[in-house]
Structure 1
Amino acid sequence: MTDPRAFTDRLGIQPILQAPMAGVATPQLAAAVSNAGGLGALGIGASSVAQARAMIEQTQALTDRPFNVNVFCHAPAVRDPARESAWLAHLRPLFEQFQAPVPATLDEIYTSFAQDNAVFDLLLDTRPAVVSFHFGLPSAAQLQALKQAGICTLATATCLAEALQIQQLGFDAIVAQGIEAGGHRGLFDPQASDEQLSTSVLVRLLVKHIDLPIVAAGGIMDGQGIRAALDLGAAAAQLGTAFILCPESAANEGYRTHLKSPRAAFTRLTSTLSGRPARGLLNSFIEHAERGGVMPAAYPLAYDAAKQLNAAAARSGNHECAAHWAGQGAPLAREMSAQALVATLIRESGL
């Protein structure tokens, strides 16, 4: 059995990880979390290589502490013109509501790490202390190259079968993502059956069957939640929604307002925003999109449609089409600096 402390001891951190949250996490947030003793993170799956390099280098300029860089490793979209056309037709009333043209076609706006050697080269060049993978796994050769560069490697699992693949490939640790988590499910195959295990059940399963450090993720918002995860056998806890209200995050005013309102109590796991299951605050877009039983376009094609629609809505001050990712613990979110939040989490958990 792996010593749970081996992971945090290697990095010299408290057992508190900030989730990468592509589009929300910033160099300022990642650096502040790392400087406070946790492990900050950047999600670069939605960024160009140039943007990703700038984010990594800016974070390195703000901290000499370890931080995590997360990439998307999804299978490329399978194009289906009929399905894409039907989805756009289903969204037409929303585009018309905001006086925006319905897109003629949808683009694959996010390139997978599996198809982009430039991101792999970037990671080897910049050498962040930690690299993590979501939606799937790199090749064995890529993983070994990262490890040989001294990089600690993590991957997300939502079930035991995925965790076994991660362990077999040779990763250093596993992020156990429970169904409570905000943002995208890390499912390797979104078409496969999903048992939707809670964080606590998943952590216990992996601790029992996997000989790697396990990071608990999903619904953890405070020190008491961190302590519970550690008591279950996790080596650390990863928190995402808890950091959204920090001034260092990139969340806009609409996102912050909704997260601080009674709406935070209502999240929905849905594929309608991006084409893959993801949990966010319930809004008018999701309610419309889920009516009628129309299948969303594949990921990330559906995301292209949703982002264009949100841009049109936002121009009129409407935030009802935004992807405000949040976990089931959203009502527990607190507004304070990242440094203050990490200090509070450490105190609450008795670390």
Structure 2
Amino acid sequence: MSLLDRLSVSLPILQAPMAGVSTPEMAAAVSNAGALGGIAVGATDATGPAAMITAVRALTPRPFNVNVFVHTTPVADPAREDDWLGVLAPLFAGFGAEPPARLKTIYQSFNDDAAMQALLVETAPPVVSFHFGLPGADVIAALKASGCVLLATATSLAEARAVEAAGIDAVVAQGWEAGGHRGVFDPDAADDRLGTMALTRLLVERTSLPVIAAGGIMDGRGVRAALDLGAVAAQLGTAFIACPESLADSFYREALASEAADHTVMTHAISGRPARCLANRFTAWGQANALPAPAYPIAYDAGKALNAAAKAHGDGGFGAQWAGQGAPLARSMPAAELVARLVREMAAGV
């Protein structure tokens, strides 16, 4: 049985579960349209996901995806964090604000969050996906025993083989073009920066897993191309940011609809992990600053505080405006309408 048949999903389209952007309303609209919607719960604790999962289920009887972050447990480095706050201080001062007195780990890795693990086993969402790595074998077994289909992101053949060995049901092949956080298991290791096309073909040929292509795919022709490469489906994130159901703020939407979408940057400055963002004042500062950021997500504590200070003064140039290289092709329409448009474009080949 194919992956889509297992999920009872009629369309080979996944809406990427984007933390801070995707919502239960978006996920339900996409799933009701025949694709697979998704929510991201990695940036919250176990109380948040329970409400989000309940909200999705109230809006759709269809399958949906719940995504968690499985990053390496961060190690605090007070000296490095103090240095980071020191170089950020002039930016805060520009908005009449002070940086945090100290930085904290703003959310746990799924590997360290027993309450989150228990919640997902108990609520058994139809699909659970992992980003930044893999949980332990006991957690994987418990989720599978609850009936969850499991997906995991890989950016290389080595990561995909680890996904395969862990018994995960399908792999999301995240190309270098993709927006948001790069799903590398080890952000300090060398990154071959494989593009979506090369990575998808490589994983189709060299693993036994169903492959979901992700990165730079914005329209039906892109979805069709992914299928032609041997993928069973395509995952689109940036394509859904401009939908009214998303949580993207007005600054983010305006940037995505402007010439700013022509330029994206892979940056560590905002969160402490590589992530592709629309070029803005924060990414420009990050490119000019040589000091290494604190560990993820400790650095993100400072990034979020700076963005809040800037927004309070009407400046949206310090936001985490994650977007892939296909950003100029973003379209603003309801999520279900976008899914229908993608289907028509796939059929027409245009």
Q: TM-score range by the shorter chain?
A: over 0.9
Which residue pairs with 2:168 in the alignment? 171
User: Where do 1:39-54 residues align within 5 Å?
Assistant: 39-54=36-51
Which residue pairs with 1:32 in the alignment? 29
Task: Write the letter of the residue equivalent to 1:304.
Answer: D
Q: Does the CA-based 8 Å contact 2:122-2:146 persist in structure 1?
A: no
Deviation at 1:57, TM superposition (A): 0.3
User: Is it true that 1:208 corresponds to 2:205 in the alignment?
Assistant: yes
- Structure 2: 5+ residue runs without aligned partners? none
Deviation at 1:134, TM superposition (A): 0.3
Q: Give the counterpart of 1:121 among 118, 124, 129.
A: 118
Q: What whole-Å deviation, never above 9, does each CA across 1:287-336 have from its counterpart, x for those lacking one?
A: 11321311111101110001001111111111011000000000000011
Structure 1 range deviating more: 76-85 or 270-279: 76-85
Which residue pairs with 1:7 in the alignment? 3
Give, in whole Å, the separation in 2 of the partners of 1:207 and 1:252. Answer: 37
Cα separation, partners in 2 of 1:292 and 1:325, compared to 1, 3 Å = closer
Other structure's SS at 2:270 match: coil
Task: Write the letter of the residue equivalent to 1:332.
Answer: L
Give, in whole Å, the separation in 2 of the partners of 1:289 and 1:327. Answer: 18
Give, in whole Å, the separation in 2 of the partners of 1:89 and 1:308. Answer: 14
Deviation at 1:47, TM superposition (A): 1.6
Q: What whole-Å deviation, never above 9, does each CA across 1:39-61 have from its counterpart, x for those lacking one?
A: 00000011221111101100000
Give, in whole Å, the separation in 2 of the partners of 1:157 and 1:269. Answer: 17
Deviation at 1:70, TM superposition (A): 0.2
Q: Give the counterpart of 2:75 among 67, 73, 78.
A: 78
User: Is it true that 1:305 corresponds to 2:302 in the alignment?
Assistant: yes
Give, in whole Å, the separation in 1 of the partners of 2:216 and 2:224. Answer: 13
Which residue pairs with 1:21 in the alignment? 18
Deviation at 1:347, TM superposition (A): 1.1
Task: Write the letter of the residue equivalent to 1:268.
Answer: V
Which residue pairs with 1:134 in the alignment? 131
Q: Does the CA-based 8 Å contact 2:268-2:286 persist in structure 1?
A: no
Which residue pairs with 2:57 in the alignment? 60
Deviation at 1:104, TM superposition (A): 1.6
Q: Does the CA-based 8 Å contact 1:137-1:155 persist in structure 2?
A: yes
Which residue pairs with 1:265 in the alignment? 262
Q: Give the counterpart of 1:290 among 287, 292, 298.
A: 287
What is the aligned residue count?
347
User: Is it true that 1:92 corresponds to 2:89 in the alignment?
Assistant: yes
Q: TM-score under structure 1 normalisation? A: 0.97
Q: Does the CA-based 8 Å contact 1:182-1:241 persist in structure 2?
A: yes
Q: Does the CA-based 8 Å contact 2:99-2:305 persist in structure 1?
A: no
Structure 1 range deviating more: 314-323 or 73-82: 73-82
Q: Give the counterpart of 1:277 among 274, 277, 281.
A: 274
Give, in whole Å, the separation in 1 of the partners of 2:4 and 2:206. Answer: 21
User: Is it true that 1:320 corresponds to 2:305 in the alignment?
Assistant: no
Give, in whole Å, the separation in 2 of the partners of 1:119 and 1:110. Answer: 11
Question: What is the percentage of aligned positions where both structures have the same residue?
Answer: 58
Other structure's SS at 2:101 match: coil
Q: What whole-Å deviation, never above 9, does each CA across 1:231-265 have from its counterpart, x for those lacking one?
A: 00001000000000110111111110110001001
Q: What whole-Å deviation, never above 9, does each CA across 1:138-160 have from its counterpart, x for those lacking one?
A: 11111011111111000000000
Other structure's SS at 1:290 match: helix
Which residue pairs with 1:341 in the alignment? 338
Give, in whole Å, the separation in 2 of the partners of 1:284 and 1:254. Answer: 13
Q: TM-score under structure 2 normalisation? A: 0.98
Runs of at least 4 residues off by over 6 Å: none
Which residue pairs with 2:184 in the alignment? 187
Other structure's SS at 2:2 match: helix
Give, in whole Å, the separation in 1 of the partners of 2:51 and 2:81. Answer: 34
Q: Does the CA-based 8 Å contact 1:182-1:218 persist in structure 2?
A: yes
Q: Does the CA-based 8 Å contact 1:41-1:70 persist in structure 2?
A: yes
